[in-house]
Amino acid sequence: MVDPTTAFSEVPSSWNRRHLLGLEDLTSEELTTLLDVAERFRQFMREGHRRLPLLSGKTCVNLFFENSTRTRTSFGVAARRLGADMIDFSAATSSLSKGETVIDTAKNLEAMGIEAVIVRHQTPGTPHLLAQNLNCCVINAGDGPHEHPTQGLLDILTIRQRFGRIEGLTVALVGDISHSRTARSNIWGLKKLGAHVIVCGPSTLVSPRWAELAVEYSYDLDSILPRVDVLNLLRIQFERQLTRPFPSVREYAHLYGMNRERLSRTKPSILVLAPGPINRGVEVATDVADGPHSAILDQVTNGVAVRMAVLWLLIAGGLNRSKAS
C-alpha cells in the first residue's frame, strides 16, 4: 500500500495557482490536474485513510455570508482530514453588523495567521475582490449566480468516474440556468474537457445567448433525452428570483421533472446528477433520485475529495513557492 505522505510529497508542476476563483480561467490541463488529485484523495479515503497530515498546523476559514449545508460541511471535513484547523465564521454575529467591510473582516482574519479563506457571498465577484486584497489563498465557494467551482469539479469528477472520460459525452443541465452558479462552472469545465453541453429549461430561465459559447439550448426536455449521456438536474432558485418564472411548480414538474417515464426514454447508461438540495417531486422524482442511475450521494462523497485536492494544491503549492523564493 502506498504511503499517502509519499504520494503527495510534491504539488504537480502543472499547478501554479494561488486562488481558485472559478473554472472559466482554468486550462484543460489544470482541470485535469485537479480531477486527478481529487481521485487520488478519494482512493486513499476508500482504503481507510481518514487522516492525511499534509496540512498540519495550517488554518482555514469558512467565510460564508449565505446559508450552506453541503459546501460548508464538506470544506470543514476536507480541511480536518488534511490535518488543518477550520474556523467557521458567522456573518450574523460578526462586526459586519456594526458596519465593517468584507475586506476589513477578511484582513483581520488573515492577520490571525490563516492560510486560506473559503468564501461564499451573494454578490458576484466577491472572491475576486478578496483575492486582490489578501495574501492568503482565496477559494470561491459560490458568488451569487456567477460560479461555484468546486461543485462543478465534483460533478465533472463523478461523470468521469462513471464513463472514464469527459470528451465526447453529451451533458444536459436542466432547470434554472439563469440563476445557477453551478451551471456556469459546469459549462466552463465540461466544454474545456471536450463535452457537448445542452442547457434546458423554460424560456424564462434559459437564454439563447448560450449558443454564443457553443452551448446548445433547448426548451423541450423530452426532445433531447434520447441523445443525452448525463442529466444534471438543477434546483429552481426561488430565493434569487424577483418574479415567478413559470405559472406553477406543478407545471414545471410536468414539463421538466425527471420521473420514471422520462427515464425509460433515455440511454440505458444514463447518469443522473443533482447538486442539491434536491426538491423531490419537482426537479426529480423520488424513485429516480434513489434509483440505480442516480449518483447524487457519490457527488457528496466526491465533494470532500475535490475540496481536499483544492486545499492541498493551493496551500502546499504556496508553501513550495515560498521555499523556492
Reported as a single tens digit per residue, the pLDDT across 1-17 is: 567 778 788 899 989 99
Full domain range(s) for residue 174: 149-299
Both 176 and 251 in one domain: the answer is yes
What's the total number of domains in the chain?
2
Confidence of residue 241 (pLDDT cuts 50, 70, 90): very low
Considering the domain architecture, whether residues 153 and 275 belong to the same structural domain is answered as: yes
pLDDT for position 243: 57
Question: Alpha-carbon distance 152 to 182, whole Å?
Answer: 6
Short-list 313, 300, 227, CA closest to 266: 227
pTM of the model: 0.93
Greatest mean pLDDT range, 6-15, 47-56, 62-71, 260-269? 260-269
Q: Both 43 and 138 in a single domain?
A: yes
* Mean pLDDT value across the chain: 91
Cell of 166: 469527459
Q: Tell me, what's the pLDDT at 229?
A: 98
Within a domain: 130: yes
Higher pLDDT, 1 or 242: 1
pLDDT for 98 equals 62
pLDDT at position 325 is 38
In a domain, 324, yes or no: no
26 and 113 inside one domain = yes
Is residue 325 domain-resident?
Answer: no
Alpha helices by DSSP H, the chain: 4-7, 28-46, 70-81, 102-111, 126-133, 149-163, 181-192, 221-224, 249-256, 260-263, 286-289, 296-324
Mean pLDDT, residues 97-119 taken together: 90
Residue 274 shares a structural domain with residue 174? yes
Residues 136 and 159 in one domain: no
Question: Are 252 and 274 within one domain?
Answer: yes
**pLDDT-wise least confident of 102-111, 165-174, 185-194, 238-247:** 238-247
In this structure, the answer to whether residues 194 and 60 fall within a common structural domain is no
Is 51 within a domain? yes
Asked if residue 145 has a cis previous peptide bond (ω within 30° of 0), the answer is no
In this predicted structure, what is the pLDDT of residue 242? 46
Q: What is the pLDDT of residue 5?
A: 72
- Closest by CA position to 214, among listed 230, 234, 229, 195: 195
Shared domain check, 289 and 235: yes
- Domain match, 122 and 94 both: yes
Residue 239 lies in a domain: yes
In a domain, 315, yes or no: yes
What CATH number should be reported for the domain holding residue 292? 3.40.50.1370
Q: Is residue 154 part of a domain?
A: yes
CB 70 within 8 A of CB 296: no
77 and 210 assigned to the same domain: no
* Cell numbers representing residue 132 in the block: 486582490
Give yes or no: residues 27 and 112 share one domain: yes
Structure-model confidence comparison of residues 324 and 255, the more confident one: 255
Amino acid present at 52:
L
Query: Looking at 152-166, 195-209, 234-248, which range is the least confident one?
Result: 234-248
Residues in the chain: 325
